[in-house]
Amino acid sequence: MNPSATASPTAPAATGAASPATLPLGDGEVVLIVDDVPDNLAVLHDALDESGYTVLVATSGEAALTRAAQAQPHVILLDAVMPGMDGFEVARRLKAQPATAQIPIIFMTGLTDTEYLVAALQSGGVDYVTKPIKPREVLARMGVHLGAARAARAQARQAGQARNALDAFGYASITVRVSDGRLMWQTPLARDLLMKHYGTAAPVTPQPVVDWLRRHLAAAQAHIEPPRLTVEQGACRLTFRLHRQTGDEGGTGDWLIVMREEDDASVIDAMATAFGLTAREAEVLYWVVKGKINRDIGDILGASPATVKKHLERVFAKLGVETRTAAAAMAMSRIRPLQPQFEG
């Protein structure tokens, strides 16, 4: 027996039981068996133990919930019919808790009517085996679901590494579920940026972001990078870029979105220094370079179009030009070498 396992009473090996050498190896993965009469499952317990699994046992629904939360088993073999809390309720409660929601549950049942089998799957089970239990069948089914669980854990680790790398380089990132637009995960920087630009907080995703994601989903699934979403707030820009899909639910699933904020305040300061402009004159020139007309600039700066016109006339005089186009061209030629990231 594995010394770290919580063993149930053993029983003589069944005649014709499969040789342990023919069974898949568990490599130390933890299995929780839940049955109010564990003596009935002694042969299964031994077969799992001899195949390299660490076997834990719970004899009631309440004990199963406690043991699952503490031990975080890789798979649960759950008896459907138990006194008190039955297996269906145990499964529902396990799936309702984030810490245990991803653990595969295989029901063990003597009930073969369709309604009971459907109830097992609807309550959160991924599979079922019927009693009397056949260890070889259980091990084969466990192998399938454990393989899928390993792949999901590996994908989660890779996604976590990608998120950490993005954060390390100053990017904020969020994960959005396409089906309902729910914000599933966010970095602290992303939380601050969403609150600053949209006034929203998780689990709410700003609607323009959801609409943008759904509009370009087909292109992203075809590995064609869609256009980025850009939101401007004064001289500050927040951009969104689809990075990768982190889940697959019929081709939708969750998507990791990278956010980056860029602030052109340094560009405005550079314009003021380069041309001897006041702060307000530099702001006006900045928005001229961005292609804004006087009315739009007034709305942005909280000034009338007439005031903007006066500032612009002084800008023309200081730059020695007569038109908006000439002023923008001179500003770009002088500022671009100092601020390569600036785009007109």
In tens, the pLDDT along 146-205 reads 887 777 766 666 666 665 655 555 568 888 988 889 998 888 888 888 998 899 888 999
pLDDT at 8: 38
DSSP-derived 3-state class of residue 264: coil
Of residues 16 and 309, which shows the higher confidence score? Answer: 309
Query: What average pLDDT is seen over the chain?
Result: 81
pTM exceeding the 0.85 threshold for the entire prediction: no
Q: Confirm or reject CATH 3.30.450.20 for domain 170-263, answering yes or no.
A: yes
In tens, the pLDDT along 45-83 reads 888 988 889 999 999 999 999 999 999 999 999 999 899
Distance between CA 299 and CA 288 in Å, rounded? 13
| Domain boundaries for CATH 3.40.50.2300 within the chain | 20-153
| Domain boundaries for CATH 3.30.450.20 within the chain | 170-263
pLDDT surpasses 50 at 145? yes
pLDDT at 246: 74
Question: Which of these ranges, 6-10, 50-54, 192-196, 227-231, has the smallest mean pLDDT?
Answer: 6-10
- Span 20-153: which CATH code? 3.40.50.2300
| Domain boundaries for CATH 1.10.10.10 within the chain | 265-335
Structure tokens at 265: 């305040």
> What's the CA dihedral at 50, 51, 52, 58 to 10 degrees?
-70
DSSP 146-180: HHHHHHHHHHHHHHHHHHHHHHHTT-EEEEEETTT
> What's the CA dihedral at 57, 59, 60, 66 to 10 degrees?
-30
188 and 196 in contact (C-beta within 8 Å)? no
Q: Architecture of domain 265-335 in CATH?
A: Orthogonal Bundle (1.10)
Mean pLDDT of 33-51: 86
Where are any strands of DSSP class E within the chain? 30-34, 54-58, 75-79, 105-109, 127-130, 172-177, 183-186, 229-233, 236-245, 254-263
pLDDT surpasses 70 at 13? no
pLDDT at 268: 86
